[in-house]
Amino acid sequence: MKPTIQFNPLQYPIYVLSKPVGAACNLRCAYCYYLDKKDLHAKQDQTRMTDTLLEKFISQYILAQPGPQVLFTWHGGEPLLLGIEYFQKALNLQKKYGRGRQIDNTLQTNATLLTDEWCRFFKANNFLIGVSLDGPQHCHDHYRKNAAGEGSFSSVLKGIELLQKYDVDFNILSVVNNYNVQFPLEIYRFFKSIGAQFIQFSPVVERTGAFTQHLIPPSETGDITPWSVPSLEYGKFLSAIFDEWVRKDVGNVFVTTFDNTLAGYVGEENATCIFSKTCGHAAALDFNGDLYSCDHFVFPQYKLGNINQSTITEMMLSNAQLQFGNAKKEHLPDSCLQCQYLHLCHGECPKNRIVSIPGEKYPENYLCDGLKYYFNHTESYMKYMATELMHDRAPANVMTLFG
């Protein structure tokens, strides 16, 4: 009998996205899935992880790692609101509890608050910075505004220039929504023009409940927000960028989705959760010590516990988290089980499985039409690159096909 593949947390490092600033932010991006989360703590107006809790988190997190490497990811809300001293404190604690392990830090930011001082600090401490940027000005400012309704584009670009001035490593995280999805090549060429080499696209798929403006978990019924990306358009967006990338940029520009698809063709375990068979090894830690199954499942019913009462290891190895991780594989609708791209897609992210079909036990993925379009569009070139890789040759050889 073929063994079934189950999520085994011991195969992965335990990974926690930490949000010591909670949902606090200087911007008000219309599509943000995290701003809502301030209402989980309606009675608290200060959302900042205390020094005691920070120490508890850092010591527990280092202890939870099975190997010698530890990756801290600082997220939010906007983590730069905490100030440099806060992160200096975190680095001191990492040294105190690290006991010779290799500790790396990444930080995800809207980049509007970057200064010379921040960049010197990041360079000196080898941080990798994720910058949120949705394209050129008209794309970015469409949804990424401050509370006064002003776009954030020019301050983000100043932030990127500072990162470059101090030679800080950065990548781009770009949300794909109903507006910027119309401009794939303009966006891709813009990213290249500012020297971005590592680009991740993140599609917006969110719903609000019938009686609330708040975002709801996939298990509930609600209306798709107007800023969510239409499924097929998302597939066309990725495909248009792929067409330029495969002709000109393989080996120079790295687009996470393309890397993931290629990994699927060569049979590698996917590094990105959304395209792997199971998930559940990346949890989210709120400022008050509450740990949730995933950053996109910060809802009361997905709370695993609190680091004041249980350890990160206990919570990540709990039945609740194992079931969460395995559900990605066990709750696939028939359409996925019969799909020729299952080995590349694995039903994508459970957060997006929200389309109920009469007679189907499990809902289908909202992005499915777009994903199928993209997998079909890229198939022949991906197979060519996979063959090159399997013969120890460079996938970039694919560009010779175009003369």
Ligand X SMILES: C[S@@+](CC[C@H](N)C(=O)[O-])C[C@H]1O[C@@H](n2cnc3c(N)ncnc32)[C@H](O)[C@@H]1O
Determine, following the binding rule CB under 6 A, whether residue 76 of this chain makes contact with ligand X: yes
Say which entry of ligand X, ligand SF4, none residue 202 contacts (CB below 5 to 8 A, set by partner kind): ligand X
Contact 289, 308 (CB under 8 A): yes
- For residues 123 to 152, the per-residue mask of contacts with ligand SF4, x marking binding by CB under 6 A and - elsewhere, is ---------x--------------------
Based on the shown chain and the rule CB under 6 A, indicate whether residue 33 belongs to the binding site for ligand X: yes
User: What tokens were used for 123?
Assistant: 């360079």
- Give me the residues paired with residue 33 across strands: none
Rank residues 326 and 352 by Cβ distance to ligand X and give the closer one. Answer: 352
Is 399 a residue that touches ligand X (CB under 6 A)? Answer: no
**DSSP, residue by residue, 4-24:** PP---GGGS--EEEE-TTTT-
CA distances for 348 relative to 34, 64, 268, 376, angstroms: 21, 27, 16, 16
- From the list ligand SF4, ligand X, none, pick the one residue 368 interacts with, judged by a Cβ distance below 5 to 8 Å according to partner type: ligand SF4
Closest separation in Å from C-beta 239 to ligand X = 20
Minimal CB distance residue for ligand X:
132
- Residue 87's beta-bridge partner residues? none
Contact partner, 206, from ligand SF4, ligand X, none, Cβ < 5-8 Å per class: ligand X
Q: Tell me whether residue 199 or residue 399 sits nearer to ligand X (CB atom).
A: 199
178 contacts 230 by C-beta, under 8 angstroms: yes
Window 165 to 224, contacts with ligand X (CB under 6 A): 173, 175, 202, 204, 206
Q: Does 368 bind ligand SF4 (CB under 6 A)?
A: yes
Q: Alpha-carbon distance 300 to 294, whole Å?
A: 12
Distances (CA, A) of 160 to 74, 110, 261: 18, 10, 28
Tokens of 88: 């200096």
Is 249 a catalytic site residue? no
How far is the CA of 391 from the CAs of 267, 379, 399, in angstroms? 14, 18, 17
Least Å distance, CB 15 to ligand SF4, is 9
Which position among 295, 334, 369, 392 bears the catalytic label?
Answer: 295
Q: Which is it for the CA torsion 356, 298, 5, 374, positive or negative?
A: positive
Residue 28 DSSP SS3: coil
Which of ligand SF4, ligand X, none lies near 350, with the C-beta cut-off 5 to 8 A by kind? ligand SF4
Interacting residues toward ligand SF4 by CB under 6 A: 25, 27-29, 32, 34-35, 76-78, 110, 132, 273-274, 279, 282, 294, 296, 328, 335-336, 339, 341-342, 345, 347-351, 365, 368, 371-372
